[in-house]
Amino acid sequence: MQSMVKNRISLEREKKTILVMLRMYCHDHHASTGDQLCQDCRQLHEYALVRIDKCPFGADKGPCSACEIHCYKPEMRRRVRDVMRYAGPRMLRKHPVLAINHLLKKWKRKPTS
């Protein structure tokens, strides 16, 4: 039970991180404001949420950027990567807690072999 709760929290955090990053990217590239996303970014957001919900790793899920499966379609993957590259460094300043958690997960998943 404990791990299921933790799992849900971690998935929620990943979803929140994606939304925050998308907003930063969209505000600066597509002139959206506040909680708004342009149509393209909204579509990308919905796509990302579905991928997270269907992720086969469940509780052990790392950030999608560090995943070996790459379940995103190539086009979507490219767009998400652009968003991450732009918003990643800015996350550290604006949302350090979310950003640090994201980085920690990445380190944890480093292969040990």
Q: What type of residue is 59?
A: A
Instruction: Rule CB under 5 A: choose which of 11, 38, 71, 103 binds Zn ion.
Output: 38
The residues, ordered by sequence, that sit 6+ positions from 3 with a Cβ below 8 Å of its Cβ are: 59
CA distance linking residue 109 with residue 103, whole number of Å? 10
Question: By C-beta, is 41 or 91 nearer to Zn ion?
Answer: 41
Using the rule CB under 5 A, give the single segment among 31-39, 43-51, 76-84, 97-105 that binds Zn ion: 31-39
Judged by CB under 5 A, does residue 76 bind Zn ion?
no
The burial class, CB within 10 Å (0-12 / 13-18 / 19+), for 47 is: middle
Q: Which two tokens stand for residue 61?
A: 């899920």
3 and 55 in contact (C-beta within 8 Å)?
no
Per CB under 5 A, the list member of 6, 16, 30, 94 interacting with Zn ion is 30
CB of 109 to Zn ion, least distance (A): 29
Tell the smallest beta-carbon distance from residue 35 to Zn ion (Å).
Answer: 13
Query: Which span (18-26, 56-64, 74-82, 101-109) binds Zn ion, by CB under 5 A?
Result: 18-26
39's tokens: 């149509």
CB of 72 vs Zn ion, minimal distance in Å: 17
Residues that bind Zn ion (CB under 5 A): 26, 30, 38, 41
